[in-house]
Structure 1
Amino acid sequence: MSERSEVSDGSVAVPTGTRRFRRSALLGAVVATALGGGAILAACGTGGQGAAAAGPARLSVADSYIPLPPAGGMAAGYLTVRNDGGQDQLVKVTSPGAESVTMHRSTASSMEQVASLDVPAHGSLQFARGGAHLMIMGWEKTPAVGDELELDLTFAKSGTISVKVPVKELTYRPGQS
């Protein structure tokens, strides 16, 4: 005669011993596998994204121009920094042809100087009218349409990139003829 006992929830009577042990062991194995597998998948997903964002930045500069400033005046500079790699940060802009170059961001009611600007992983940093822009002051020589000003863009991780930025008509708008 087989000995019977009640399962902890009180609903089923099963033989004492092996069945109860097998059921709880099986349930424990299923739970452990699910939790372990979920942790592994979560780690893979996070690691993949983190690895891409943590990799080296691959930067290029496009669409650069400086609208012709008034004689002896300051000028704005516009360009796009494209990034096909990991995140970086633009921390400084200088020019051998100007006393100073500062980074600014326009808001609805004002313009503020900023110390640095983020260049997102697999994204771009755009300097455009009404947004982030460069202020170029103390020109070495009075610029004319067609001149180029060298700008040295220094990034936190990628070092310095030098670009020659053309001076355009004051009314120039990229993409418009």
Structure 2
Amino acid sequence: MRRPAGRARRSAPAAAWLTAAALALAACSGPDSGDTAPDLSVSGAYMPQPVSASMAAGFLTITNDGGTAAELTSVTSDLGEVTLHETVDSAMREMTDAEVPAHGTLVFESGANHLMFEKLTRKPKQGETVEVELHFAGTGPVTVEMPVKAATYRPATGHSGH
């Protein structure tokens, strides 16, 4: 059975509108919409050779290229206990977590946010590597190889990773 010609003309604009609406919805769920998962990478990781047999510090930059913030909840290492610290008004204090903003970075550097290693199982020496695992809420852990540098080492370009 054949459809009336007028009926076909009326459905063409509706089909075009539905196609446009579907394309608009698809565009809303694209990578720039802000609802993509965190996309994490680490750069500039290092540990100055500890001067103490029981404590050390670690520094790195975590970059999030995803559209959703990531929450760093803990760091683990077989080297000892690792906690997150921040320095505010020259006073160091422990943090329970730290946010890596969407399309942003979280920097751990000397004199600011840093990793604190305590109760060391051994004292790492310059040239060695320490492995740490960064744990995030809602996403898998990230393993980082942290080279041990001279106690006086300071990165030439900071910790931006760029």
Q: TM-score, normalised by structure 2?
A: 0.74
Contact 1:54–1:87 (Cα < 8 Å) also in 2: no
Contact 2:75–2:135 (Cα < 8 Å) also in 1: yes
**Residue 153 (structure 1) aligned with residue 134 (structure 2):** yes
> Is the alpha carbon distance of 1:53 and 1:131 closer, same or farther for their aligned partners in structure 2, counting shifts above 3 Å?
farther
The percent of aligned pairs where both chains have the same amino acid is 39
**Residue 103 (structure 1) aligned with residue 98 (structure 2):** no
Task: Please list every run of 5 or more consecutive structure 1 residues that lacks an aligned counterpart in the other structure.
Answer: 1-43
More helix by share: 1
Contact 1:148–1:164 (Cα < 8 Å) also in 2: yes
Q: Secondary structure at the match of 1:143?
A: coil
- 1:87 aligned partner: 69
Q: Secondary structure at the match of 1:54?
A: coil
**Residue 117 (structure 1) aligned with residue 92 (structure 2):** no
Count how many residue pairs are aligned between Structure 1 and Structure 2.
130
Task: Please list every run of 5 or more consecutive structure 2 residues that lacks an aligned counterpart in the other structure.
Answer: 1-24, 158-162
Determine the C-alpha separation between the residues in 2 that align with 1:53 and 1:93: 26
Q: Secondary structure at the match of 2:34?
A: helix
Q: TM-score, normalised by structure 1?
A: 0.68
Q: CA RMSD in A?
A: 2.1
- 1:8 aligned partner: none
Determine the C-alpha separation between the residues in 1 that align with 2:105 and 2:48: 22
Contact 1:57–1:157 (Cα < 8 Å) also in 2: no
**Residue 65 (structure 1) aligned with residue 46 (structure 2):** yes
**Residue 56 (structure 1) aligned with residue 37 (structure 2):** yes
Using the TM superposition, give the Cα deviation of residue 109 of structure 1 relative to its aligned residue in structure 2, in angstroms.
Answer: 3.2
Using the TM superposition, give the Cα deviation of residue 132 of structure 1 relative to its aligned residue in structure 2, in angstroms.
Answer: 0.6
Higher mean alpha-carbon deviation, 70-79 vs 160-169, is at 70-79
Higher mean alpha-carbon deviation, 135-144 vs 85-94, is at 135-144
RCO higher in structure (CA 8 A, sep ≥6) = 2
